[in-house]
Amino acid sequence: MQRGFAQTEYEARTRRAQALMQAANLDAILLTTEADVRYFSGFLTRFWESPSRPWFLVLPAEGKPVAVIPAIGAALMGQTWIDDIRTWRAPDLTDDGVSLLMETLNELGSATIGTPMGYESHLRMPLADWGRVQAGLHGTVQSEAGIVARLRAVKSKVEIEKIAEACAIAGRAFARVPEIAAQGVALSRVFRDFQRMCLEEGADWVPYLAGASAQGGYGDVISPASDVPLAWGDVLMLDTGLVRDGYFSDFDRNFSVGPASAQTQSAHARLIDAVDAAADIARPGTTAAQLFRAMDLIVTGGGVGSDAGRLGHGLGMQLTEGLSLVPADHTVLEAGMVITLEPGITTGEGRMMVHEENIVITNGAPRFLSPRAGREIVIL
Amino acid sequence: MQRGFAQTEYEARTRRAQALMQAANLDAILLTTEADVRYFSGFLTRFWESPSRPWFLVLPAEGKPVAVIPAIGAALMGQTWIDDIRTWRAPDLTDDGVSLLMETLNELGSATIGTPMGYESHLRMPLADWGRVQAGLHGTVQSEAGIVARLRAVKSKVEIEKIAEACAIAGRAFARVPEIAAQGVALSRVFRDFQRMCLEEGADWVPYLAGASAQGGYGDVISPASDVPLAWGDVLMLDTGLVRDGYFSDFDRNFSVGPASAQTQSAHARLIDAVDAAADIARPGTTAAQLFRAMDLIVTGGGVGSDAGRLGHGLGMQLTEGLSLVPADHTVLEAGMVITLEPGITTGEGRMMVHEENIVITNGAPRFLSPRAGREIVIL
């Protein structure tokens, strides 16, 4: 598959943002996080792992975005469609991009500048430096009103194919789990080997892996792997977020170590049924809350006081992004949205099972990007 | 190796922080980032990859830290030494921990609350929510005056052993590069296979890998791998940040694809000489700037106008943290500081080579945590 995107993709994103900016009376949007900067520039690097340097992209109301970045990124940014690349030698302990950002923003005059301030956002620069930037601005800063998140939520065809490829890679790795997991193998070793298989199957890297293995269900799904060996009767769950060319997959699979109990089989089947119920109504016009309810009805019986958490979320350039499948999220699905369906079910006191698939909303039935799991749990 | 740390480690960190807080007249410190929260709690999870939920740790002037976190983290936080764990069901689209954090902070009365605002820090929560928290506080918020970064910069013995283990793992993976890299192999495949070997050698995961392969030196060290095959005469560089039990290694190695030119050999030898020169003076009392100058003298000849960037940095719970080896950083080295020595040298128009080792400052000669490379570049 071709790496990156054609310039037309970035032009289209920028045009759409600028149309929304005009409606919101914004003269520019300031972006500081990896995914937001990459969305409009194509700047893809794992160097963001280092917290030492801030990176800025200024999206004006007209014209191309302007990069205000550490000099170490100039060569790579120069390979994107961005022309106006302003750099400083970072880290600079007294002025780490503050003046350069301020100058760039002040070229816009007494402008209204938006920056992401809402749900799931953060400002990736020191608060003290942010204070200095604001103090030196000719214009004012306010929320960008969720414009960037709204755009990112609806994926283009080429974005969907990147996510599909990531999902296919994860699917091949999951299919090989019987090679590496069995009674007696330490969970930490399973984690390590599973990541290896993700790489062998084509992942660029594996930013996320969680999972658990415990009798008849697990209590926690975010812990790192312990060295405890898999035991007969365990349910093993692996949940990976792997990346291919900057786009994530995010789904899990459950396995029974030895024959599954009737309860485990039943719980697994209900999880699949819950996914099916959500997929049946996952169409443009359906809301996130409706998907939640369709699954919740099956995994908890629904009703007031259902204790289920989030049963899925948006997916794309980040492991999780955008909407949440919770009762309060009334986001309306649109064709092109990529989401996870992630029902969980209680299997005993403090124990549960979780299943997850990735779909893209289309004008008809959703397309499963993850290779859909069957109702029967795989036996190791 | 034992996972995690004994409770005494967290007690000592907390005590030290509280002593500095008293001197700075702070009633509490609010922490929001993965490394800062983990430093005082031991809360280790890859779940931070998801940007959807904020996580808070409040470190009061006396007593244990208080966790204010999404309910999904309660079980794992319950396994740490933290007792006071307050949770909300996140994501909550209207109140994502804002009220709970505010209540927790307001129990301290009209307190002076510090939070990291300086170099390398950021606030990991939405700006709009931060505004709401501040508006509802009985007390006031200010910078925590760099207390957390100062503590984190000096590693305990048990922390150093974690970093040493990560470095040993990376060292074994680098020793195996001849298994995977040769003329004709795509750089992207080398990246994938190298990460696989890091896992095989014991990495929990591989958050960072950068590198390049080009004739007689490379132009850029942060780009993702292309599918271009290694060519005769290339210098291949791989720079990895792998993690073992929450601590990073961060060093690189260079390889010559086929026999190295005299220029490549000479450049490589000078990089090693630069590391040696820095190691010779890397003692308590030496400054970061002095380490820079020692290396810069060898790789550029020093002098006014030397164009070298950062020639190393602190290392630990993050790939890069703390001091920078630049002329303006006069941080005084202390025993227990773990740093990288990372000289770069120009090998032609737009081409360079970079070499990196990891050391810990002791009361005598520094201890190399990375297995020290020889002056002769390894030939593939």
Query: Across residues A18-47, what is the average pLDDT?
Result: 98
Under an 8 A CB cutoff, do B124 and A122 touch? Answer: yes
Tell me how crowded residue A328 is: count the other CB atoms within 10 A of its CB.
12
The closest alpha carbon to A289, from A312, A270, A271, belongs to A312
Under an 8 A CB cutoff, do A75 and B51 touch? Answer: no
Under an 8 A CB cutoff, do A119 and B127 touch? Answer: no
Sign, CA dihedral A6-A9-A12-A14, equals: negative
Alpha helices in A140-253 (DSSP H): 147-153, 157-175, 177-180, 187-200
Residue B302 pLDDT more than 90?
no
The single residue listed with the structure tokens 């409040």 is B58
- A341-351, pLDDT tens digit by residue? 999 999 998 89
Q: What is the pLDDT of residue B305?
A: 57
Of B96, B226, B320, the CB nearest to A51: B320
Q: What is the pLDDT of residue B135?
A: 97
Query: Across residues A14-29, what is the average pLDDT?
Result: 98
Query: Across residues B23-36, what is the average pLDDT?
Result: 98
**All residues at 6 or more sequence positions from A146 whose CB lies less than 8 Å from its CB, including other chains:** A116, A118, A119
> ipTM of the predicted structure?
0.97
φ and ψ at residue A327, rounded to 5 degrees: -60, -25
DSSP B226: P
Contact list, B114 vs chain A (CB under 8 Å): none
Under the banding of pLDDT at 50, 70 and 90, the label for residue B2 is confident
Residues B45/B49/B50/B51 CA torsion (nearest 10 deg): 120
Under an 8 A CB cutoff, do A205 and B195 touch? Answer: yes
What is the token pair recorded at B133?
């928290």
Interface residue B126 vs chain A (CB under 8 A): yes
Taking CA–CA distances from B226, the nearest residue in chain A reads: A3
Query: Across residues A20-26, what is the average pLDDT?
Result: 97
Residue A147 pLDDT more than 80?
yes
Query: Across residues B30-59, what is the average pLDDT?
Result: 97
- B154-203, pLDDT tens digit by residue? 999 999 999 999 999 999 999 999 999 999 999 999 999 999 999 999 99
Residue-range domains of chain A with CATH: 7-151 (3.40.350.10), 157-379 (3.90.230.10)
Under the banding of pLDDT at 50, 70 and 90, the label for residue A307 is low
CA distance A340 to chain B (A): 13
Beta bridge partners of A368: A359
The single residue listed with the structure tokens 């004709």 is B184
**pLDDT over 90, % of chain A:** 95
- A251-264, pLDDT tens digit by residue? 999 999 999 999 99
Are A115 and A29 spatial neighbours (Cβ–Cβ below 8 Å)? yes
Query: Across residues A91-112, what is the average pLDDT?
Result: 97
**C-alpha to C-alpha distance for B276 and B355, rounded to whole angstroms:** 12
Under the banding of pLDDT at 50, 70 and 90, the label for residue A221 is confident
CA distance B118 to chain A (A): 5
> 65-94 in B: which are within 8 Å (CB) of A?
71-73, 75-76, 79, 89, 91-94
Contact list, B227 vs chain A (CB under 8 Å): 3
Task: Tell me the average pLDDT of chain A.
Answer: 96
DSSP string of A287-320, one letter each residue: BHHHHHHHHHHHHT--STT-------BB-SSSSS
Of A76, A123, A224, the CB nearest to B123: A123
The radius of gyration of chain A's CA atoms, rounded to the nearest angstrom, is 22
- B267-293, pLDDT tens digit by residue? 999 999 999 999 999 999 999 999 999
The residue type found at B358 is N
Query: Across residues B125-136, what is the average pLDDT?
Result: 98
Tell me how crowded residue A366 is: count the other CB atoms within 10 A of its CB.
24
- A246-305, pLDDT tens digit by residue? 999 999 999 999 999 999 999 999 999 999 999 999 999 999 999 999 999 999 987 655
Helix and strand counts by DSSP (H, E) for chain B: 11, 16
Q: Which residues of B59-86 are buried (b: 16+ CB within 10 A; e: fewer)?
A: bbbeebbbbbbbebbebbbeebbbeebb
How many alpha carbons lie under 13 Å from residue B353 in its C-beta half-sphere?
28
Beta bridge partners of A141: A113
Query: Across residues B81-103, what is the average pLDDT?
Result: 97
Q: What is the pLDDT of residue B221?
A: 87
Phi-psi region of A362 (alpha: psi -120 to 50; beta: other; left: phi over 0): beta
Under an 8 A CB cutoff, do A128 and B122 touch? Answer: no
CA distance B268 to chain A (A): 21
Q: What is the pLDDT of residue A95?
A: 97
CA distance B322 to chain A (A): 8
